[in-house]
C-alpha cells in the first residue's frame, strides 16, 4: 500500500474532551474561555502496538535490537497514531506460556530500569540488580523513542509495569511454574537490596499495597519516568499491563498525578483490563482512560461506551492476538478508540506474515482518517437510530452508520429537517462515493453500493465538511 505520512508532530498534551469525554482533545490552556473549549476537536486514537517496541526481546543473549525506526515507518504507512510502549518486568519471557502463539523457547529481555552491579549473581547467572540505582540506558531509550514517535504524529502510552507474567502466566501454563517470578528484579535472589516482597517460590504480590520499601522503589521509578518524558506532548501513561490490585493501581495513578502537578505538563493516566480490576472499579478510579476486557463483556461486538472515561479498547485484553476489521468498525461506531495487539513481524509471538492481521491494520488507518473528517466531538453512540445498531450521531446534523455484511438498513432521521447529503465510504480503503440526497423527518432505508459491508455518512445539506 502507498505510504501515508501523519504529516505533523503530535499535538498535546492530551486532555479529556470537555464535552465528549469518550475522546481526548489536544489540550487547551485552562485560562481560555468556555466557548474556546467547546470548539476543541476530538482526537481519535488507534494503532498497532507490539511487545519489543521499548525493551528488546529475543532468543539470543543479549537479545537482538528492535528496529524502532522501521516500526514507526510501518505505523505511518497505515496512518496509525497511537501505540502502547511496552515494559517487561522480568528478564525473560517463556513463550510456552502463550500456547499456540508461543515460540517453544525463552526470550531474553533487556534493558531493565535498574542497573546490574552485583555483588553476587542473580538466578540467571548475571550480576544482581541494585534497585536503588536506575539504569540511564533504559531512560535514554525511553526518552528518544517517545520523542521520535511524537515527531511522526504518534501518541505513546508509556507502560510503567507489566503484570501478565506474574498475574496470569506464572502458573497453570505449559511453561514451568514461577518462571516470571524467578526472572523478576524484586525476587530476593535477584537484587542486592534484601527486598522482601513476600510470596512463595511461584510468585509474589509485587503489585499490591502494604510494603513501604517496595512502594518507595516503585515510586522513585515512576517519578523518573515522568522526569524523562514530561516535556513531550504525545505522552500518556499506563499503570500496568493486566495486573495490579485496585488499591495499588489507584496509588500509582495518584503518584503520577501528584508528581506531574509539579511539572510543566500533565498527561492522561490509564488502567487496563484483564488484570485484578474489573470494569466498575476502573470506571470509578482516578484514571483518565481505561481498557475494558473480555471478562467485562467486551468482545467481538462491544457495547456502546457511556463516556465516563476514555475507552482505549484493546484486542490484547479481549483475545490476546485476535480481532477482525469488522470489530474495528463496531468499536469505533460505539464510541471506543480501538487498538490492536500486533504480532508485527512474528519475532516474539505468532507466525511471520500471518494474513489475518493486515485487514485490521488497514481498517484502523481508514477509521482514523474518517474520524478526522467528521465532527467527532459532537457525535455520540446512538444504537437506537440505526437498524444495524452501529451509529454515531449528532441527530439532525450528522450520522455515521456501519452496515455490516452487505445488509441494508434503516436510519431514523426524524430529528433532521430538510435534505441530507449521502456518502458511502468503503471500510477497506476509505474511498467514498456520493449517494442520492435524502429528506429528513422520518426513518429512511438504505442499501450499500454492493454486497460488502459499508459505512454510511449523512450530513445536513446546510453543514460543512
Task: List per-block mean pLDDT (blocks of 10 residues) for the chain, which spans 465 residues.
Answer: 57 95 81 54 97 97 97 98 98 96 95 98 98 98 98 98 94 93 96 90 88 96 98 98 95 98 96 92 97 94 96 97 97 98 97 96 98 96 98 98 90 97 97 97 95 96 62
Residue 237: name the closest of 152, 114, 146 by CA.
146
* Dist. CA 455–CA 423, nearest whole Å: 8
* pLDDT of 4: 43
Task: Give the CATH number, domain containing residue 417.
Answer: 2.60.40
Whether the model pTM is above 0.85:
yes
Select from 347, 377, 407 the last residue of a domain.
377
Task: Give the CATH number, domain containing residue 81.
Answer: 3.20.20.80
* pLDDT of 346: 96
Question: Same structural domain for residues 356 and 386?
Answer: no
* Dist. CA 24–CA 17, nearest whole Å: 5
Question: Same structural domain for residues 165 and 207?
Answer: yes
* Dist. CA 122–CA 52, nearest whole Å: 23
* pLDDT of 464: 47
What is the domain extent for residue 38?
Answer: 15-377
Question: Same structural domain for residues 263 and 179?
Answer: yes
Q: Identify the H or E element spanning 368.
A: helix 358-373
Select from 361, 377, 393 the last residue of a domain.
377
Question: Same structural domain for residues 401 and 262?
Answer: no
Select from 355, 377, 399 the last residue of a domain.
377
Question: Same structural domain for residues 443 and 305?
Answer: no
41, 70, 81, 324, 330 from 76: Cα distances, Å: 21, 10, 8, 20, 23
Question: Same structural domain for residues 334 and 412?
Answer: no
Within a domain: 10: no
Within a domain: 441: yes
The model's pLDDT over 80-95, given as tens digits with 9 standing for 90+, comes to: 999 999 999 999 999 9
The model's pLDDT over 22-43, given as tens digits with 9 standing for 90+, comes to: 999 996 555 555 544 446 899 9
Within a domain: 9: no
* pLDDT of 39: 61
Q: Quick check: 155 and 82 in contact, CB under 8 A?
A: yes
Question: Same structural domain for residues 364 and 389?
Answer: no
What angle in degrees, to the nearest 10, is found between the helix axes of 68-78 and 358-373?
A: 60
Residues sharing a CB contact under 8 Å with residue 173, sequence separation 6 or more, in sequence order: 96, 97, 99
Residue 45: name the closest of 11, 91, 92 by CA.
11
* pLDDT of 78: 98
What angle in degrees, to the nearest 10, is found between the helix axes of 246-260 and 212-229?
A: 40
Within a domain: 81: yes
Nearest 10 degrees: CA dihedral of 192, 196, 201, 204?
Answer: -120
* Dist. CA 222–CA 198, nearest whole Å: 22
The domain tally of the chain equals 2
Question: Same structural domain for residues 319 and 397?
Answer: no
* pLDDT of 351: 93
Within a domain: 55: yes
Within a domain: 258: yes
Within a domain: 251: yes
Within a domain: 7: no
Amino acid at each position: 500500500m502507498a505510504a501515508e505520512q501523519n504529516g505533523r508532530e503530535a499535538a498535546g498534551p492530551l486532555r479529556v474532551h470537555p464535552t465528549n469525554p469518550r475522546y481526548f482533545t489536544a489540550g487547551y490552556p485552562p485560562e481560555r474561555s468556555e466557548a474556546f473549549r467547546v470548539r476543541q476537536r476530538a482526537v481519535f486514537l488507534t494503532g498497532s502496538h507490539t511487545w519489543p517496541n521499548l525493551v528488546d526481546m529475543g532468543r539470543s543473549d543479549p537479545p537482538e535490537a528492535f528496529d524502532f525506526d522501521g516500526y514507526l515507518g510501518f505505523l505511518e504507512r497505515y496512518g496509525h497514531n497511537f501505540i502502547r510502549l511496552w515494559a517487561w518486568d522480568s528478564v525473560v519471557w517463556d513463550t510456552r506460556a502463550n500456547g499456540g502463539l508461543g515460540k517453544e523457547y525463552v526470550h531474553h529481555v533487556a534493558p531493565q530500569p535498574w542497573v546490574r552491579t552485583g555483588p553476587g549473581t542473580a538466578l540467571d547467572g548475571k550480576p544482581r540488580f541494585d534497585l536503588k540505582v536506575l539504569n540511564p540506558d533504559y531512560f535514554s531509550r525511553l526518552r528518544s523513542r517517545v520523542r521520535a514517535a511524537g515527531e511522526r504524529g504518534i501518541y505513546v502510552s508509556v507502560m510503567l509495569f507489566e503484570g501478565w507474567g506474574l498475574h496470569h502466566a506464572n502458573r497453570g501454563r505449559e511453561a514451568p511454574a514461577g518462571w516470571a517470578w524467578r526472572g523478576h528484579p524484586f525476587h530476593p535472589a535477584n537484587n542486592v537490596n534484601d527486598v522482601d516482597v513476600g510470596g512463595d517460590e511461584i510468585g509474589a504480590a509485587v503489585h499490591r499495597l502494604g510494603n513501604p520499601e517496595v512502594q518507595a522503589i516503585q515510586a522513585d521509578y515512576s517519578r523518573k519516568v515522568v522526569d524523562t518524558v514530561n516535556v513531550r506532548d504525545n505522552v500518556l501513561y499506563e499503570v500496568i499491563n493486566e495486573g495490579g490490585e485496585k488499591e495499588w493501581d489507584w496509588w500509582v495513578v495518584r503518584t503520577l498525578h501528584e508528581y506531574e502537578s509539579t511539572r510543566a505538563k500533565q498527561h492522561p493516566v490509564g488502567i487496563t483490563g484483564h488484570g485484578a480490576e474489573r470494569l466498575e472499579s476502573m470506571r470509578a478510579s482516578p484514571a483518565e482512560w481505561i481498557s475494558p476486557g473480555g471478562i467485562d463483556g467486551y468482545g467481538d461486538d462491544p457495547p456502546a461506551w457511556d463516556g465516563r472515561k476514555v475507552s482505549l479498547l484493546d484486542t490484547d485484553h479481549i483475545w490476546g492476538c485476535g480481532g477482525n476489521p469488522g470489530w474495528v468498525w463496531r468499536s469505533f461506531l460505539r464510541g471506543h478508540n480501538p487498538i490492536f495487539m500486533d504480532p508485527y513481524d512474528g519475532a516474539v509471538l505468532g507466525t511471520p506474515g500471518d494474513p489475518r492481521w493486515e485487514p485490521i491494520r488497514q481498517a484502523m488507518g481508514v477509521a482514523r482518517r474518517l474520524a478526522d473528517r467528521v465532527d467527532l466531538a459532537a457525535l455520540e453512540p446512538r444504537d437506537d437510530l440505526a437498524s444495524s445498531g452501529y451509529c454515531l450521531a449528532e441527530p439532525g446534523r450528522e450520522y455515521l452508520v456501519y452496515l455490516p455484511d452487505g445488509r441494508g438498513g434503516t436510519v431514523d432521521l426524524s430529528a433532521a429537517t430538510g435534505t441530507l447529503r449521502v456518502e458511502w465510504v468503503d471500510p477497506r480503503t476509505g474511498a467514498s462515493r456520493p449517494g442520492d440526497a435524502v429528506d429528513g423527518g422520518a426513518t429512511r432505508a438504505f442499501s450499500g453500493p454492493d454486497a460488502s459491508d459499508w459505512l454510511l455518512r449523512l450530513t445536513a445539506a446546510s453543514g460543512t465538511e
